[in-house]
């Protein structure tokens, strides 16, 4: 990814716990060349849904930042929706997985995977 195509990702935070989980997942895959891509796409029961996945692509207009050795990228269309969002990882008896606390979400569905 060149600096001409990538801007600094501002307003998104990956917690230390989430960064550690991402690093562990990448180690299990035997890959260190992937970034964690966070995207917002139409869908879900509330109108928009989050997608988190590993990606080796560089898209024009991506914003990127390093969090404790984990590269996080967001495409230019998703960036405004994620400003101020905190990505965390929870591991409790009730729930396990990544969570997104997004101040831009006007509301969300019960499953927590979509918002409006």
Residue range 22-64, pLDDT digits in tens? 999 999 989 989 999 999 988 766 678 889 999 999 899 999 9
- How would you write the chain as a 3-class SS string? CCCCCCEECCCCEECHHHHHHHHHHHHHHCCCCCEEEEEEEECCCCCEEEEEEEECCCCCCCEEEEECCEEEEECCCCHHHHCCCEEEEEECCCCEEEEEECCCCCCECCCCCEEC
pTM: 0.81
**How many other CB atoms are there within 10 angstroms of residue 35's CB atom?**
22
Residue range 57-105, pLDDT digits in tens? 989 999 999 999 999 999 999 999 999 999 999 999 988 999 888 887 7
């Amino acid at each position: 990814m060149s600096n001409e195509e990538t801007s600094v990702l501002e307003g998104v935070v990956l917690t230390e716990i989430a960064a550690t989980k991402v690093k562990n997942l990448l180690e299990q895959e035997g890959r260190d060349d992937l970034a964690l891509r966070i995207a917002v796409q139409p869908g879900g029961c509330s109108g928009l849904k989050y997608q988190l996945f590993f990606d080796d692509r560089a898209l024009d207009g991506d914003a990127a930042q390093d969090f404790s050795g984990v590269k996080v990228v967001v495409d230019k269309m998703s960036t405004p929706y994620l400003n101020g969002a905190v990505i965390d990882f929870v591991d409790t008896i009730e729930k396990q997985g990544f969570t997104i606390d997004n101040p831009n979400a006007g509301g969300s569905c019960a499953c927590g995977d979509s918002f409006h």
